[in-house]
Amino acid sequence: MKTKSEFKLAELAEKVGTSPRTVRYYVQRGLVPKPDFRGPDTVYGEEHLLRLRAIRKLQENFLPLDAIQVELSRLPAEALRKIADGTELPSGTKHWQHRSEATNAHAAASHPHAAPRSTGWKRWELLPGLELHLRESADAQARELAERLHALAEDQLRQKGSR
Q: Are residues 17 and 86 in the same domain?
A: yes
**Domain enclosing residue 15, as ranges:** 9-93
Render pLDDT for 26-65 as a digit per residue (tens, 0 to 9). Answer: 999 999 999 988 888 899 999 999 999 999 999 888 888 8
- 17 alpha carbon, distance to own chain's centre: 10
Q: How many domains is the chain built from?
A: 2
Residue 1 lies in a domain: no
Apex 20 CA angle, 71 and 63, nearest 5: 25
pLDDT of residue 52: 96
Answer whether residue 148 is part of any domain: yes
Residue 106 within any structural domain of the chain: no
Residue 162: predicted pLDDT: 64
pLDDT of residue 50: 95
Per the rule left: phi > 0, alpha: psi between -120 and 50, beta: everything else, 30 is: left
Of 96 and 155, the one with more pLDDT: 155
Q: Identify the pLDDT of residue 155.
A: 77
Closest CA to 26 of 43, 6, 5, 49: 49
> Please, are residues 49 and 68 in contact by the beta-carbon 8 Å criterion?
no
| Within a domain: 35 | yes
The verdict on 125 and 64 lying in the same domain is: no
Both 85 and 129 in one domain: the answer is no
> What's the mean per-residue pLDDT of the chain?
79
Same-domain check for residues 89 and 13:
yes
Q: Which of 150, 155, 160, 158 has its CA nearest to residue 124?
A: 150
* Per-residue pLDDT reduced to its tens digit, 59-110: 888 888 888 998 898 888 899 999 999 888 766 554 444 444 444 444 444 4
Judge whether residue 14 has pLDDT over 80.
Answer: yes
Is 102 within the bounds of a domain?
no
More confident residue, 11 or 107: 11
- 111 in any annotated domain: no
| Residue that terminates a domain, selected from 76, 93, 110 | 93
Asked if the model's pLDDT at residue 2 lies above 60, the reply is: no
Find the CATH number of the domain harbouring 80.
1.10.1660.10
Q: Please tell me whether residues 27 and 72 are part of one structural domain.
A: yes
The whole-number average pLDDT for the span 107-125 is: 54
Q: Which of 45, 78, 93 is where one domain is finished?
A: 93
Regarding predicted confidence, which is higher, 19 or 124?
Answer: 19
